[in-house]
Chains A and B, each alone.
Chain A
Amino acid sequence: MAIGRRIWPVEGDPLRRNPSRAAQPRPSEPGFERWMWYFTRISGLALVILAMGHMLIMHVLVQLTGQEINFAFVTSRWGSPFWRIYDLLLLVLALAHGVNGARIIIGDYIERGGLRSLLVGILLAITFIWLLMGIFVILTFDPATAPAVGPFS
């Protein structure tokens, strides 16, 4: 066992240093990367509560209380502003946290240059569309104006 021996972070040894920017000690120079380093950790703490809470409600509590997820279930949940704000916060934080992680993973495997910029650009463009779609669905959900009969009936 290695208890008592300081293993990580290893200073100055590139072979034993964790290769990921995501897992590295805080970026030494202030700027965007340092802000994202803090954001990842702070949003991560919030997401432990928000995401685990969401999964425990939707997949464990619903199961244990014999309910099922359908339009009526969503109507009763999003009838409360608390759960709408909860889900909105979860959507924005999870997407930003995850996409920033994906951006760092792209950066770890693709050398600085045109391809990296292209991939990160595509990632951000898709994320922007998906973010708007998610926010739109949460904010505009209204059973009173929803079409009662869909095209498949």
Chain B
Amino acid sequence: MFGYRISWSQLAWLGHRLSGIGILVYLFMHIVENATLAFGPDVYDLTQTFFRNLPVRLGEIVLMAALVYHSLNGLRVIAMDFWPATTVWYRPLTYAVIIGTVAAMIPLGLIMITPYAPWNGS
């Protein structure tokens, strides 16, 4: 796929960029969805029913994962920008960001999927 060996910093950078674009696109849709509040409870409550199903919930879990990764990786970038000595630890810090994201998403993903999970009979 790549004509050269891809480094962790490039992968972390690509992940930051993709998660950022994903969250921004979601934000634009979220503003439109919230605008239905102006049309009163009937319209808003009907709109909300479109979001109560497994595919949407899986998308929300991906959104949560993108936000957790973008937050943790952003904190790493800020640390390296304002405290250049930490760039020596860029590789362990990058691993920590990835492990932290996965570790956070295990409980968060389980909580979020529970009401729509196939194993809960819905």
Contacts and interface: CB of A to CB of B under 8 A. Distances in A.
Decide if A and B are genuine partners: yes
Interface of A: 1-9, 18, 20, 22-23, 25-26, 41, 44-45, 47-48, 51-52, 55, 59-60, 63-64, 68-72, 74, 91, 94-95, 98-99, 101-102, 105, 126, 130, 133-134, 136-137, 140-141, 143, 146-153
Contacts of B40: 71, 146-150
Report whether over half of chain B's contact residues are helix, strand or loop; otherwise say mixed: helix
B42 A149 contact: yes
Interface residues of B, number: 51
Contact of B27 (A8, A70, A98, A152): A98
B46 A146 contact: no
A22 B32 CA distance: 28
Contact of A48 (B13, B64, B74, B114): B74
B43 A150 contact: yes
Given A6-B88, A52-B68, 13 more contacts: A3-B92, A25-B81, A45-B78, A48-B75, A51-B71, A52-B71, A98-B20, A101-B21, A143-B41, A147-B42, A150-B39, A150-B41, A152-B43
A52 B63 CA distance: 11
Contacts of A45: 75, 78
B58 interface: no
Contacts of B10: 18
Contacts, number: 140
Contacts of A134: 31, 34-35
Given A20-B17, A137-B37, A94 B27 contact: yes
